[in-house]
């Protein structure tokens, strides 16, 4: 690896702010940057630690989590300055509150995108500029490369399984040149191997799965812990059969259901039935045969584009994180944009994102609506 200080014409060593979560990926990202000769500054965003924080006692301030300690210990090992940034208020207003609202509106939200939009790639970009850094680095599985026009663009990771570009579609294209994803060109086992070689204490730490603030609690319990029971009571309603409209039973709140769900619906019925629609206006959960889950179209709102596109070309579209992308065309409609898939897709879920790629390059995306 080359030392950028020796070669660059820039006046000083490039300085990078690296977002460290305390996990393996961002720890290795930081270590690689140090090796590459950057001047590295580590930062952890202190968000609400829902898993281990006694709400009464902690009052939402100063409750240091074990992950913050892990990030701190890696920074110490690497000999880089490290800061904890207080993002609790912002995290609550931009991530937690919309998450709860979305569930209560019968959707299945995707809070990680908001965290990226409003915290990692907004708050931290601001800090990057304030601390006189040239780059912001994260441990995302994604790559920044120059596209055919010589413009920095986001490309999928070499690790297809771990690729996280799905969560990055809201990024402003103007900040892309400032981003570094040091592990985006690697596969997970390699990242772990580097962590072990470098003696990072987090090398054996488990991958985080699911949504960080929900923890082991499960969605329903989390929502119940955060929302006034009186409000939850207003979300109870009927379970109806599609297409007949026959009432099959009652349910305890639409936030217990997600599209495509077949277990735990709360019905004793001889056929296997699926949640095919959630109507938040009437609090009706519609169930039916699996075929009703399939659709060839998705409407998206609040779209965000990183690069240009046109209506004639075929793109690759992902409708949920663990979804293999599938070919589709995009067109503008009166209300927003419509995605026409070449083949029918199962459980296109409102609240999730449809993310659009041109081969490996991230084009943009939007929020799936009913």
Residues that bind another protein (CB under 8 A): 1-2, 4, 7-10, 14, 36-38, 41, 46, 61-64, 68, 79, 81, 83-86, 127, 129-132, 134-135, 144, 146, 152, 174, 177-178, 180
Report the residue number, 241 or 361, with the smaller CB distance to another protein.
361
Least gap, CB of 169 to another protein (angstroms): 20
Closest CA to 162 of 180, 142, 178, 146: 142
Least gap, CB of 130 to another protein (angstroms): 4
Report the residue number, 26 or 284, with the smaller CB distance to another protein.
26
For residue 53, indicate whether it is catalytic.
no
Report the residue number, 129 or 332, with the smaller CB distance to another protein.
129
For residues 175 and 171, give the distance between their C-alpha atoms in angstroms, rounded to a whole number: 7
Tokens of residue 300, six digits: 């998206």
Tokens of residue 350, six digits: 């409102």
Catalytic residue among 87, 112, 115, 133: 115
Using an 8 Å Cβ cutoff, are 166 and 321 in contact? yes
For residues 186 and 43, give the distance between their C-alpha atoms in angstroms, rounded to a whole number: 23
Least gap, CB of 97 to another protein (angstroms): 19
- CB within 8 Å of 67: residues ≥ 6 apart: 21, 22, 23, 44, 49
What's the chain's Rg over C-alpha atoms? Answer: 22
Catalytic residue among 87, 112, 133, 212: 212
Tokens of residue 60, six digits: 């939402």
Least gap, CB of 152 to another protein (angstroms): 7
Report the residue number, 86 or 236, with the smaller CB distance to another protein.
86
Burial class (CB in 10 A: 0-12, 13-18, 19+), 208: middle
Q: At what angle do helices 66-78 and 24-35 cross, to 10 degrees?
A: 20
HSE value, Cβ hemisphere, 13 Å, CA-based, for 7: 7
What's the distance, Cα to Cα, between the start and end of the chain in Å?
A: 50
Which residues does residue 365 pair with via DSSP β-bridges, in sequence order?
304, 355
Least gap, CB of 126 to another protein (angstroms): 9
For residues 318 and 355, give the distance between their C-alpha atoms in angstroms, rounded to a whole number: 5
**208: which DSSP letter?**
P
Least gap, CB of 4 to another protein (angstroms): 4
Residues annotated as catalytic are 115, 212
């Amino acid at each position: 690896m080359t030392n950028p200080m020796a070669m660059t014409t820039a006046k000083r060593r490039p300085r990078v702010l690296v977002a460290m979560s305390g996990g393996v990926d961002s720890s290795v990202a930081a270590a690689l940057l140090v090796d590459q000769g950057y001047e590295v500054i580590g930062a952890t965003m202190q968000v609400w630690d829902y898993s281990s924080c006694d709400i009464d006692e902690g009052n939402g301030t100063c409750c240091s989590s074990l992950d913050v300690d892990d990030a701190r210990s890696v920074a110490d090992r690497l000999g880089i300055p490290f800061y904890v940034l207080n993002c609790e208020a912002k995290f609550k207003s931009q991530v937690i509150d919309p998450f709860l609202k979305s569930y209560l509106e019968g959707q299945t939200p995707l809070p990680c995108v908001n965290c990226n939009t409003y915290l990692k790639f907004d708050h931290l970009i601001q800090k990057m500029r304030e601390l006189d850094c040239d780059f912001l680095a994260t441990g995302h599985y994604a790559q920044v490369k120059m596209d055919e026009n010589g413009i920095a663009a986001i490309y999928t990771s070499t690790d297809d399984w771990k690729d996280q570009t799905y969560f990055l579609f809201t990024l402003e294209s103007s900040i892309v040149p400032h981003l570094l994803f040091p592990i985006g060109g690697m596969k997970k086992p390699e990242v772990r191997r580097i962590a072990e070689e470098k003696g990072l204490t987090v090398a054996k730490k488990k991958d985080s799965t699911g949504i960080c603030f929900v923890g082991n609690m499960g969605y329903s319990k989390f929502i119940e812990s955060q929302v006034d029971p009186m409000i939850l009571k207003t979300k109870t309603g009927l379970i109806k059969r599609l297409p007949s409209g026959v009432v099959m039973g009652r349910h305890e709140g639409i936030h217990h259901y997600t599209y495509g769900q077949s277990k735990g619906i709360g019905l004793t019925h001889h056929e296997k039935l699926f949640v095919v629609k959630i109507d938040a206006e009437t609090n009706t959960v519609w169930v039916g045969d699996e075929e009703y889950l399939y659709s060839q179209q998705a409407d998206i709102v609040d779209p965000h584009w990183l690069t240009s596109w046109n209506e004639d070309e075929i793109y690759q579209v992902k409708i949920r994180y663990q979804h293999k992308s599938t070919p589709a065309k995009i067109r503008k409609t009166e209300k927003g944009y419509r995605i026409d898939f070449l083949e029918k897709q199962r459980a296109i879920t409102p609240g999730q994102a449809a993310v659009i790629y041109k081969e490996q390059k991230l084009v943009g995306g939007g929020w799936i609506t009913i």
